[in-house]
Structure formats: structure tokens, C-alpha cells
Chain A
Amino acid sequence: DSGVTQTPKHLITATGQRVTLRCSPRSGDLSVYWYQQSLDQGLQFLIQYYNGEERAKGNILERFSAQQFPDLHSELNLSSLELGDSALYFCASSIGGLATDTQYFGPGTRLTVL
């Protein structure tokens, strides 16, 4: 158990809909990262928050947005969903964002768009 929790574990929805994925980082961690893993692909970095502020953006679509709240939990919002958005979405957290800070991953949310 990494200490990072993600809800829900599974989500099935239809094209055009909007969903929210939630992540609670390990106690004391200030950074939260979101990754997308599509079928047979590596993890694609989406976005990082550090202590409530956006710090880095990767391959995140404009239809996707995220935020980190004062209690440090984070939400990833996916809107106007398409079939291709079906994937595993992982959240990770670290104490800070330094090179030596290990990222601890949650178990992921599996999103299926029908």
C-alpha cells in the first residue's frame, strides 16, 4: 500500500459525458501528479500540482483539467469524453518535486468510455 488513494476504482460512462477522478496523496506529500496509461502504452504525464499550484503540464488535453485543494487532495476532470479517453488514470504524490523525491503511485482509476 503506497498510501495514495484514488476513487473510484472503475468508472464506466458514455461519450460526451464528464467525470471527476479523485486522488488523496500520502500524508505530508505536497506534490500530486496525474498520468494516463492507454492500452499497451507507457504512462503519459498529464499535470503536476505542488502545494495547490500548477507546476508542470504534460500531454494534457484542453478537455481535461485538474486542481489541488487546500487539504492537498486533487481532482482530475475529464469532459466531452471520447472513446479514446478510455484508459487507466494514475495519481502519484511526492514530498516535494526534487530529483531525489520518489513518486508514490495510487492503484489507478480505470475509465471506460462507451
Chain B
Amino acid sequence: DQQVKQNSPSLSVQEGRISILNCDYTNSMFDYFLWYKKYPAEGPTFLISISSIKDKNEDGRFTVFLNKSAKHLSLHIVPSQPGDSAVYFCAASTPFSGSARQLTFGSGTQLTVLP
């Protein structure tokens, strides 16, 4: 049972335009959401996160939107640059006692930004 789903395996966008990557989740206990970016032959790199008490978080060209009622998360990249071409993973976490946070990842979306 996939609790975090990224239904688009790939997305192509023109340089300078907006990239929108989507993520859906099923577990209503998730309270913290993250996006990671992964280049080939490297590990995932943290990009941006959002707590369930917010519906938007911005960091430079990256904005994450959270729609709790729809259990939907999206990442907007504006403007898109060729260097943004990578696999983007959505991840979610439930509250955990002590010092543990278990992340559940989606299967990823390959973003290609065309020059």
C-alpha cells in the first residue's frame, strides 16, 4: 500500500517556465512533508519542507503547497532552470515519540528542464 504517491514519473518544462510537481498521500496522520532532489549517482538532497499547520512555504524559487483536505502536496519551481533537472521525491512523516522520524517516500518524478 503506497501511502505517498507521485503519479507522474516524468515532467518536461521549458527553461524559465514554472514546474509543478505533485504528490498525493493517504495517511491522515502525516504531519510533516518534505521534498528531496536527486541527481544521478548522488544521494537525495533536502529541498524544502512544510508542516501540516501551514499551507504554503517558500524558499527562493521553490514553493511547496499543502492541501490537507485533498491530501495533496505540490512543489512549484519558478523560474525553472536546466540545473533543476533531477528526480524529485516527495516524503511524509508521522509524529513519533522520542527522537525518531520515519520518512515515507514517493516513487519520484524525473524533471527535465529544456534550454
Q: How far is the CA of A48 from the CA of B9 in the complex (A)?
A: 28
Question: Size range of the interface on B?
Answer: 20 to 34
Residue B99 at the A interface, CB < 8 A?
A: yes
**Could you count the A-B residue pairs with CB atoms below 8 Å apart for me: how many are there?**
70
B99 touches A99 (CB 8 A): no
Stretch at the interface among B40-48, B61-69, B74-82: B40-48
Residue A92 at the B interface, CB < 8 A?
A: yes
Q: How far is the CA of A100 from the CA of B41 in the complex (A)?
A: 26
Knowing A42-B4, A99-B93, the reply to whether A90 touches B43 (Cβ < 8 A) is yes
Min Cβ gap B97→A in Å is: 10
Q: How many residues of A contact B (CB 8 A)?
A: 30
Q: Using Cβ atoms and an 8 Å threshold, which residues of chain A touch B101?
A: 56, 97-99, 101
Residue A24 at the B interface, CB < 8 A?
A: no
Q: How far is the CA of A73 from the CA of B105 in the complex (A)?
A: 24
Q: How far is the CA of A72 from the CA of B60 in the complex (A)?
A: 34
Q: Which residue of A lies closest to B90 (CB)?
A: A42
**Closest 5 A/B residue pairs (Cβ):** A105-B43, A97-B99, A42-B105, A56-B100, A55-B100
